[in-house]
Structure 1
């Protein structure tokens, strides 16, 4: 008889490399936003293939200031319903209204054909969420945006390393917003990044992340003995800056990222092979234009909640990413009235399986064997 194992949904891959980076920051005594943050931004921009990258405290912060930086302070922004609440919250922080376009049944990403149906004279932008690391159909979305003169913001919280037709997610729209939260493809504990090819936008984002100042503390100091205290607050901003503690972890994680992504690619293929043909379960579909960068492994099952309880009773953690966010009481009170029948249908079946780069063959075998024992 096989003893019960404890399998988490996610597990960050952290070790001596991160500790070494942190030790150097502590020794320098500069733990706020400084040289490590600058280095991390530079390397991340090179990785994504954009001119600029601006480090912040979270993807929520990234979305907030990206929308603000593009000058959106009213009107409507089109978003998918199957995403984290932060996608819509960032729209509302800026005084705009989230309008929900339906999702594709197979990828769970925003459906381009429904985007166009939801556009009005008040529409200012589209937020394309690369759910679970599957890229949205960006060619179609960008074509719609050009037709109606709309901004495109890529929500890449799930998609560090995702490729769309050979180009990195986060390099295709006006801005890309990334998450380095504890569970993501790479982590800084908490943190985020905005990528863009618009240098003027990037400069405004740097102001907005640090109180609206024209010069942050590091740029006033720049490692020199003479510290310049003078600065100007040019506009209303926020306290959203990344710091060198986060950046040091990020730089170490960055070296591991290719290996972590490759391991998750292998794990995905293993899941696909093992779960294909189960009558009550659908494995995720991968469109030919998207590759690597997977954060989630989402299946669709009959009797989803019973399945989740069954797995939990055997020590396996699963999750739901995500219930349509307009189900939450705050958005209901705000009077949001979406028409997204596909999202309403599929969310009741979706479940995320344990998926992390250090998952052992023994852990994987235990998860798969347990799934096959479930009887809906």
Structure 2
């Protein structure tokens, strides 16, 4: 058995293999220079083109771009909810999924996730429905789709909206259809760690003309003409600089996805030989995008905790991360204001999950080193 690098052994990689790697092109620089020289740097023609092409790419009728993924969620909720409405969301996700519900004068209701897909459990959703429930907010975590067939049936049975958090699901398909075209609204983030990025930025897609109209107004002070305000809105506008980058990233999305899916295939095959490390299960009928590649450690087989495992792996020059280290039911502000019931699967998952490198610029040699690093650490800590 090879000695761990953290204990003085030789690391499996001489150089660090990055967890994520946002990359920009020469065309990005040229387009930005062109925009700066025009002095038209705010939301304008590049944004209009980006919205149209993104909507076309996902198969939706409408799209409106915003300043970030949180703004996308906030506009979507504000366009669909009334004060006092309840929104059922997973307990295992980034906090923006529910903080934006709160800032829409509505109430998030946390439901547990499935232990293998890490996604909203439809059976737990059913248990949380009340007379106040207005919407379900599936989070398609790490580019894996929730069970949209079952969730859509639940929504239809109870006359609920579905507000999809697709922050990590650019290009993810369920039952042959991009998530951006599923009912009722889908919200994306273009943060630097995402499958495509504009630095920050976000976008909302929908097939509902009224939700599109309201969301578009809300992102820009409720202004339907110069200084003519038909509702109280916010400044969630994007810029043409961000949209120009978005157009270039969108043109490369299919290539990004192909590379991510190849990387995932290599990692999935290799991890079958590693005991105690289990990748996220992909939901049936899903073509995932692998925004992140996450695994869980089995405490019955691995004698160290997640943080110790990661420390050893990073010493091997294999970068890794945690998404997410604390379930929403255990977040201080959530406990204080919402007093949620325990979601044991989410709470356990947050203690055992970790992410391995995933981006389009990983070579097969890099992937082999990632697998060797995981195997080396797992074998040293196997019970």
- Where in structure 2 are the equivalents of 1:323-334 lying within 5 Å? 323-334=326-337
Given that 1:74 and 1:94 are in contact with CA atoms closer than 8 Å, whether structure 2 keeps it comes out as no
- Where in structure 2 are the equivalents of 1:150-189 lying within 5 Å? 150-189=160-199
Q: Is 55-64 or 345-354 further displaced after alignment?
A: 345-354
* TM-score (norm. length: structure 1): 0.93
Alignment-derived partner of residue 6 in structure 2: none
Question: How big is the shift at 1:3?
Answer: 5.6
Residue among 188, 199, 202 paired with 1:192? 202
* TM-score (norm. length: structure 2): 0.91
Alignment-derived partner of residue 263 in structure 1: 259
Q: Secondary structure at the match of 2:50?
A: helix
Alignment-derived partner of residue 4 in structure 2: none
Q: Secondary structure at the match of 2:162?
A: strand
Alignment-derived partner of residue 354 in structure 2: 351
Alignment-derived partner of residue 366 in structure 1: 369
Q: Secondary structure at the match of 1:273?
A: helix
Given that 2:13 and 2:369 are in contact with CA atoms closer than 8 Å, whether structure 1 keeps it comes out as no
Question: How big is the shift at 1:52?
Answer: 0.3
Alignment-derived partner of residue 309 in structure 2: 307
Please tell me whether residue 16 in structure 1 is matched to residue 26 in structure 2.
yes
Q: Which ranges in structure 2 are unaligned for 5 or more consecutive residues? A: 1-9, 299-304
Q: Is 73-82 or 180-189 further displaced after alignment?
A: 73-82
Question: How big is the shift at 1:268?
Answer: 0.1
Report the RMSD for the aligned CA atoms in angstroms: 1.4
- Where in structure 2 are the equivalents of 1:199-278 lying within 5 Å? 199-215=209-225, 230-278=226-274
Q: Secondary structure at the match of 2:114?
A: coil
Alignment-derived partner of residue 56 in structure 2: 46
Residue among 311, 315, 318 paired with 2:320? 318
- Shift of the 253–3 alpha-carbon distance from structure 1 to 2, 3 Å rule, reads closer
Given that 1:82 and 1:321 are in contact with CA atoms closer than 8 Å, whether structure 2 keeps it comes out as no
Q: Distance in 2 between matches of 1:3 and 1:334?
A: 46
- Shift of the 113–3 alpha-carbon distance from structure 1 to 2, 3 Å rule, reads closer
Q: Is 172-181 or 5-14 further displaced after alignment?
A: 5-14
- Shift of the 263–308 alpha-carbon distance from structure 1 to 2, 3 Å rule, reads same
Please tell me whether residue 288 in structure 1 is matched to residue 291 in structure 2.
no
Tell me how many residue pairs correspond in the alignment.
Answer: 362
Question: How big is the shift at 1:285?
Answer: 1.6
Q: Which ranges in structure 1 are unaligned for 5 or more consecutive residues? A: 216-229
